[in-house]
Structure 1
Amino acid sequence: MPYWLMKSEPDELSIHDLQRLGQTRWDGVRNYQARNFMRSMQPGELFFFYHSSCPQPGIAGIARIASAHYPDPTALEPESHYFDAKASATKNPWSALDVAFVEAFRQVIPLTQLKAQSALLELPLVHKGSRLSVMPVSSQEWAAILAMR
């Protein structure tokens, strides 16, 4: 089964928000490579929930893909931060999917700690300048990160 890592700013959606909601839509991805990764995800696959753009960036927990991808409705909403004037109801290039809560870690695994792990050298997250919000995680990387919690 493929594993993933998905980033969210905790003031927009945190692992604790997802825990409270149980399930919600993951939308607003506006990078084609990240979008393509989302389009390849299947219900039941797991991902690390990463808190980004915050005082303590890092992996905050685990969530599950709860639906197949579908057109991202925020692209069509003019009041949305993720509005895309080029998108239309018949030609929406952006995707969303539903995600469900699995587990919140007692403490966030900080990016600095992830970067120090030799088993994670190939993980795009630890490379300088990597801003991709959705990325695959190998089974070896998944196991190494789980061992850190």
Structure 2
Amino acid sequence: MNYWLIKSEPNTYSWDDFVKLGRDHWDGVRNYAARKHMREMEEGDMALFYHSVNDKCVVGVAKVVREHYPDPTTDDDRWVVVDLMPEFKLDNPVTLEQIKNDSRLSEMVLVNNSRLSVQPVKREEFDLILSLGQK
């Protein structure tokens, strides 16, 4: 199993929007590195759902339920989507500030390349963020 972090602007597509749908494809990715990561996602992988821009925090966990296929929002066949389902919301959002201030997370891609919208996460980082987000 692999672990990921996916980013969305909450005023465009929030965790609550995602939960209301119950399942959705992750579209609109137009960065080659992020696309590479989406192509590596496998059914059953887990992803931290991160609110970018204003909130800057991990708010929930999603599960990959369908591996990559052509992005239906474009005619350009270079781009792909994956299908995700919400698993659970964190009790407490884990902020970017918390992540940056925790030396155990200093190697996390989010800390070193915060602009990448889909990024890998190490199992230890994933588990630590979950523990920080629980009551």
Q: Which residue of 2 aligns with 1:112?
A: 97
Unaligned regions of 5+ residues in structure 1, if any?
Answer: 77-86
CA contact (8 A) 1:19 1:104 kept: no
For 2:108, which of 106, 120, 123 is the aligned residue?
123
Secondary structure (helix, strand or coil) at the match of 1:73 reads coil
Residue 69 in structure 1 maps to residue 68 in structure 2: yes
Q: Where does structure 1 differ by over 4 angstroms across 4 or more consecutive aligned residues?
A: none
1:75 deviation in Å? 1.8
1:66 deviation in Å? 1.1
CA contact (8 A) 2:65 2:83 kept: yes
RMSD: 1.1
Secondary structure (helix, strand or coil) at the match of 2:74 reads helix
Aligned residues: 133
Partner Cα separation in structure 2 for residue 94 and residue 120 of structure 1: 30
Q: Which residue of 2 aligns with 1:81?
A: none
Letter in 2 for 1:117: D
Letter in 2 for 1:95: V
Which structure dedicates a bigger proportion of its chain to strand?
2
Alignment of structure 1 residues 1-149 onto 2, 5 Å:
1-54=1-54, 56-76=55-75, 87=76, 92-127=77-112, 130-149=114-133
1:15 deviation in Å? 1.2
Larger radius of gyration: 1
Unaligned regions of 5+ residues in structure 2, if any?
Answer: none
